[in-house]
Structure 1
Amino acid sequence: MAKQDNRADNVEHLQKNIDYTISSLEEAEEYLDEHASELSPEDRERIMAKNERRRDSLDAFRSEIRDEAKDRGQ
């Protein structure tokens, strides 16, 4: 038998992912600030591109939270 879809804690899981993603983004930005001159242009670009994907993920997570809140009637 399939597990029942329990969405009661989706917002909490999404918020945990948001917090982790923000932490990773900030850590990468700090690293770039401190070590940009030591990195190759390719490495700098790779880190910057990853941070852009993180920003996109944050937008998606926040949108999902809004959807979950609507589904809960909040």
Structure 2
Amino acid sequence: MHKPKPDDRSNNAERIENTIGHTLQNMDEARDFLKAHSEELSEEEKRNIEEKNARRAESIDGMREEIKDEVAHQQRYE
């Protein structure tokens, strides 16, 4: 019988920060795409891209809260 691995949270904040960076990059690319191809896109396609960016922004807010939790956890257990 194997013992469960301990929960290694030591790099969680860093991983979340990387994910935020990638998400921000995706948002920028989507905005650039909209600007460059706005005339070629239907209103529905534009709305879908804008809604996806809105969901990304909400996700970033949640990830920033997770970082706060991770930092607090690390400070408690250092």
Q: TM-score interval w.r.t. the shorter chain?
A: over 0.9
- Give aligned pairs, total: 74
| Equivalent residue for 2:30, pick from 15, 28, 31 | 28
Q: 2:75 maps to what in 1?
A: 73
State how far apart, in whole Å, the 2-side matches of 1:24 and 1:17 are: 11
| Equivalent residue for 2:19, pick from 12, 17, 20 | 17
CA RMSD after TM alignment: 1.2
> Unaligned regions of 5+ residues in structure 2, if any?
none
Percent identity between the two aligned chains: 36
Deviation string 1:41-69 (CA, Å, 9 cap, x unpaired) is: 11001100100000001101111001111
SS in 2 for 1:3: coil
Deviation string 1:1-56 (CA, Å, 9 cap, x unpaired) is: 32221000001110110010000000000111111111011100110010000000
TM-score (norm. length: structure 1): 0.93
Q: 1:50 maps to what in 2?
A: 52
State how far apart, in whole Å, the 1-side matches of 2:18 and 2:37 are: 28
| Equivalent residue for 1:4, pick from 3, 6, 15 | 6
Structure exhibiting the larger radius of gyration computed from Cα positions? 2
> Unaligned regions of 5+ residues in structure 1, if any?
none
State how far apart, in whole Å, the 1-side matches of 2:8 and 2:35 are: 42
